[in-house]
Amino acid sequence: MTKEKNSKQKVSNKEESDEVAEVARAALDYHAKPIPGKIGTALIKPCETQEELSLAYTPGVAAPVRAIAADPMEAYTYTAKGNTVAVITDGTAVLGLGNVGALAGKPVMEGKGVLFKRFADIDVIDLEVTAESADAFVETVVNVASGFGGINLEDIASPHCFYIEKALKERLDIPVFHDDQHGTAIIISAALINALELQGKEITDARIVCLGAGAAAMASMKLLIKLGAQLENIRMVDRNGVIRDGRENLNEYKQAFAGKFSEETLEDAMKDADVLIGVSGPNLVSSQMVQSMAEKPIVFALSNPDPEITPDHAFALRDDLIMATGRSDFPNQVNNVLGFPFIFRGALDVRASAINTEMEIAAVNALARLAHAPVPQQVLSAYHKQQGTLYFGPEYIIPTPFDPRLKDYVATAVAKAAVDTGVARAPYPKHYPPIMSE
């Protein structure tokens, strides 16, 4: 019996290995053929005649050069600056692969460019920076930033990512946005607002466990606090247990979430918790931990591709929970593509000098509000759903990435917040819906 069992296991492992290899081959072919890479440049003005060539380059190009030299804001009028974002990494925290180096991070940066262009028609230049220190990275970005309308930082390890973003925000007059922090925080917050509503709970009272203490975790908890969550109700858990007073070697960022807590372990923290937000690693949460949570709990298991707990294990002992993951094959996918393309779209369209907290909260509220709206047929078709099967409820707390209304909801809300808070350097776009009074 044991031999038969071992034989079946070997067959199963081989099939799984073959499937992984096939997916890898398909991905490599996709990136290599027919032309290497995923993004390129395209001409947006004609250059077919001598006259057009003279306008595109010398002598005609001298006119916009002089205009920009006299007034740098004219770069938005005469160049692609206003629709171009630099996606920049040092390759120290690429996906779940760790510190693979700047060059190895290039496929991900190109992928980010695909998403910017596909969902918000924003052009991207990807920059992979090899720097010996955080300060060297900052100097490099500052020195090249003037040609871009915004900076999207990506896949930079903590705690350097916090320092880098802060330094760049202080020195640049264009939006600087670390998507691993704030993009994730915005989508989590929007989904959680709706999940709490469905469960009949208030964010001010919710006991929240955050499994993970990296960039996404820190930013998510900070944004939730700005939305009403209470610091004393939050337990942040890293690989050494609950972050609390008395623990040694806590950096300044973790120390901000420490308190006089009695809980020491994840298991302790999960008892009677209303919310679990997992931004850590696979299979760290047991069914028994979920069972120990309060009535009508909310579980966001966002580790990708393997969540902290799978839906089948989570629902095995609870039928009153709402669950989200980072995967597209389960309901309620928490996906950053719901946010960053449209946040930058709104910021670029008003020539914003920053993406501030008010703009982030505007994006949160827009996403949460959109999930309440009837789902259009285009979305149902994309997900092979029948009319009436996708609606606001436990299995639809956040819009889907292919919802064509995301730009209207999110970009307009962000642009309005930029205008309202004084960081916009251009008026609210005429092609946007009118700004509505609150």
The reported pLDDT for the residue numbered 249 is 85
The reported pLDDT for the residue numbered 264 is 96
The reported pLDDT for the residue numbered 392 is 96
Beta bridge partners of residue 151, listed in sequence order: 86, 176
The reported pLDDT for the residue numbered 6 is 61
Every domain range in the chain assigned CATH 3.40.50.720: 182-325
* pLDDT band at residue 436 under the 50/70/90 scheme: low
* pLDDT band at residue 423 under the 50/70/90 scheme: very high
DSSP state of 282: T
CATH of domain 67-174: 3.40.50.10380
Helix (H) or strand (E) holding 123: strand 123-128
The reported pLDDT for the residue numbered 385 is 86
- Closest alpha carbon to 383 in 304, 438, 330: 330
Mean pLDDT for 260-271 is 97
Mean pLDDT for 141-146 is 98
**Digit-coded pLDDT (tens) for 286-341:** 999 999 999 999 999 999 889 999 999 999 989 999 999 999 889 999 999 999 99
Q: How far apart are CA 111 and CA 151, in angstroms?
A: 16
Supply the DSSP string of 248-274, one letter for each residue.
Answer: SS--HHHHTT--S-S--SHHHHHTT-S
112 is annotated as an active-site residue: yes
Higher-confidence residue of 305 and 262: namely: 262
**300 three-class SS:** strand
Catalytic residue among 81, 112, 201, 254: 112
User: Residue 20: exposed, middle, or buried by beta-carbon count in 10 A (0-12, 13-18, 19+)?
Assistant: exposed
Q: How far apart are CA 220 and CA 13, in angstroms?
A: 37
SS3 per-residue string spanning 53-106: HHHHCCCCCHHHHHHHHHCHHHHHHHCHHHHEEEEEECCCCECCCECCCCHHHH
- Tokens 């890293």: give the residue: 238
| The domain over range 182-325 is classified in CATH as 3.40.50.720 | yes
Mean pLDDT for 416-429 is 96
For residue 13, is pLDDT > 80? Answer: no
Mean pLDDT for 404-411 is 94
Half-sphere CA count of 297, side-chain side, radius 13 A = 26
- Of all residues in the chain, the percent with pLDDT exceeding 90 is 86
- Among the residue ranges 11-25, 160-174, 397-411, the one predicted with the least confidence is 11-25
The reported pLDDT for the residue numbered 7 is 60
Instruction: Name the region of 164 (left: φ>0; alpha: ψ -120 to 50; beta: rest).
Output: alpha
- Of all residues in the chain, the percent with pLDDT exceeding 70 is 95
What mean pLDDT, rounded, does the chain reach? 94
The reported pLDDT for the residue numbered 434 is 81
Mean pLDDT for 54-61 is 95
For residue 5, is pLDDT > 80? Answer: no
The reported pLDDT for the residue numbered 438 is 46
The bridge status of strand 241-242 relative to strand 234-238 is antiparallel
SS3 per-residue string spanning 329-396: CCCCECCHHHCHHHHHHHHHHCCCCCCCHHHHHHHHHHHHHHCCCCCCHHHHHHCCCCCCCCCCECCE
Catalytic residue among 8, 57, 166, 391: 57
Mean pLDDT for 404-432 is 95
- Among the residue ranges 111-115, 196-200, 283-287, 375-379, the one predicted with the least confidence is 375-379
Every domain range in the chain assigned CATH 3.40.50.10380: 67-174
The reported pLDDT for the residue numbered 400 is 94
The reported pLDDT for the residue numbered 2 is 60
**Digit-coded pLDDT (tens) for 186-243:** 999 999 999 999 999 999 999 999 999 999 999 999 999 999 999 999 999 999 999 9
- Among the residue ranges 62-66, 75-79, 428-432, the one predicted with the least confidence is 428-432
The reported pLDDT for the residue numbered 95 is 84
Q: How far apart are CA 252 and CA 58, in angstroms?
A: 54
* pLDDT band at residue 437 under the 50/70/90 scheme: very low
For residue 175, is pLDDT > 60? Answer: yes
117 is annotated as an active-site residue: no
* pLDDT band at residue 17 under the 50/70/90 scheme: confident
Beta bridge partners of residue 152, listed in sequence order: 87, 177
Burial state string for 316-326 with b = 16 or more CB within 10 A and e = fewer than 16: eebeebbbbbb
* pLDDT band at residue 86 under the 50/70/90 scheme: very high
